[in-house]
Amino acid sequence: MAELIGEGRPPEEDFIVSVANGPGFEDQEPFGGGQEGHDGGGDEGDDDTFFTERRLKTLLRKEQEMDKQKVGASRGPQKWVLIREACVKEDRSFEQKTPVQLAEGFRNRKKKCLRYTHALEAAGGGQPTTASGLQMKKPAYYDLFLSYGHISHDHIQGASKPMVLPMGVNRGNGKRKSTGDIGGGGKLPRLGGGEITDAQLRQFVMQSREEVVQLRRDMAQERAEHSRQLGEVTQELRTLSAVLVQQGNELIQQGRQMLLLVQRQGDNLMGVLEKLGNRY
């Protein structure tokens, strides 16, 4: 299997591996060593040109038809053969795509839509955001996936298995663990052991929002109290300044009056001295 998927690339889901190992595909070219290109597939299906709306409708319709047929173990390879044949009729470049490449690109696109659905549920009808708090943009073809029943606000429908988690998240027995049915009672992993349900996660998010709102209210009340105290201190300083100015003016007035009194007494003394001089 290491030769099939290439060194350095994380294991794909069992469904993809079963497609690659299915009958009639032993000679298909393997994945690259963790590289970007699967003719538009990309690591996370970021290239919106991989599927046109018409091709995607064909893929969805064919997948639903194969879901109804339930052809057993060979269902995966047969399904993607039919899908590739349908795409080749519209675009000859699909002749170069293996069923593995086609399935990977389609499922990466679907995962992005599922992550957006999960974010919508976590937001409770508000604006969905990423784990880092950034605004999440609605993926291409999201409405189309939703209209065909491949994603739902209640549970995951369609033929695909639950989404895989990043490497390092497992049950402890080497098997990769899935998120289960998002929005339908599935479970999300919590690193370090233990599990939390979607309902608990939503409750935690709502509780965190309430705590943030309450914290903002407390901060606003503290700011108002500080502003009130600052206003009182400012008023006291203004009153004290007015009193000091008034007392300074009174002292200046008293000094002027004393100076005038001294001048009068000096004038009187000079007059007395002049009289005494004239007499003697």
List pLDDT tens digits, range 159-182: 334 333 333 333 344 444 444 433
Half-sphere exposure in the Cβ direction for 173 (13 Å, CA) = 3
Predicted pLDDT of residue 256: 93
Range of the domain at 150: 2-164+176-189
Q: Which of 110, 136, 141, 134 shows the shortest CA–CA distance to 45? A: 110
Percent of the chain with pLDDT over 70: 59
236 φ/ψ angles, rounded to the nearest 5 degrees: -65, -40
pLDDT at 53 over 90: no
160's enclosing H/E stretch is: none
More confident residue, 57 or 175: 57
Please report whether residue 151 resides in a domain.
yes
pLDDT at 233 over 80: yes
Q: What is the average pLDDT value for the chain, to the nearest integer?
A: 68
Spell out the residues 6+ positions from residue 152 whose beta carbon is closer than 8 angstroms to its own.
117, 146, 183
Please report whether residue 274 resides in a domain.
no
Instruction: Report the alpha-carbon distance of residue 221 to residue 209 in Å, rounded.
Output: 18
Please report whether residue 240 resides in a domain.
no
Please report whether residue 144 resides in a domain.
yes
Global pTM value: 0.36
Predicted pLDDT of residue 228: 92
pLDDT at 58 over 60: yes
Query: pLDDT tens digit string along 83-126?
Result: 777 777 777 777 788 777 877 878 888 888 888 888 887 777 67
Q: Which two tokens stand for residue 216?
A: 């903002």
> In one letter, which amino acid is 8?
G
Q: What is the mean pLDDT of residues 4-15?
A: 39
The DSSP annotation for 248-269 comes to HHHHHHHHHHHHHHHHHHHHHH
Please report whether residue 117 resides in a domain.
yes
Q: Which two tokens stand for residue 145?
A: 């996936």
Q: Between the CA atoms of 119, 122, 123 and 125, what dihedral angle is there, to the nearest 10 degrees? A: 90
Query: DSSP label at 176?
Result: B
Please report whether residue 73 resides in a domain.
yes
The tally of domains found in the chain comes to 1
pLDDT at 193 over 80: no
- Residue 19: pLDDT band (50, 70, 90) is very low
Q: What is the mean pLDDT of residues 257-270?
A: 90
Query: pLDDT tens digit string along 119-159?
Result: 887 777 678 887 777 888 888 778 877 777 656 544 333 33
Q: What is the mean pLDDT of residues 234-256?
A: 93
Predicted pLDDT of residue 195: 56
Q: Which two tokens stand for residue 80?
A: 């993607």
- Residue 235: pLDDT band (50, 70, 90) is very high
pLDDT at 56 over 50: yes
Please report whether residue 91 resides in a domain.
yes
Predicted pLDDT of residue 165: 35
Are the beta carbons of 152 and 146 closer than 8 angstroms? yes
Please report whether residue 253 resides in a domain.
no
Spell out the residues 6+ positions from residue 23 whose beta carbon is closer than 8 angstroms to its own.
74, 77
